[in-house]
Amino acid sequence: MANEIAPDQQIWVMTGEGAELTGYSHEYLEKLANKNWRLPEDERLIKIRKRAGYFYELWLPDLLRYMTESGTGPMTSNKK
pLDDT value of residue 74:
61
- What is the DSSP track for the chain? ------TT---EEEHHHHHHHH---HHHHHHHHHHHHTS-GGG-SS-EEEETTTEEEEEHHHHHHHHHHSS---------
pTM above 0.85, yes or no: no
pLDDT in tens, 24-52: 999 999 999 999 999 999 999 999 999 88
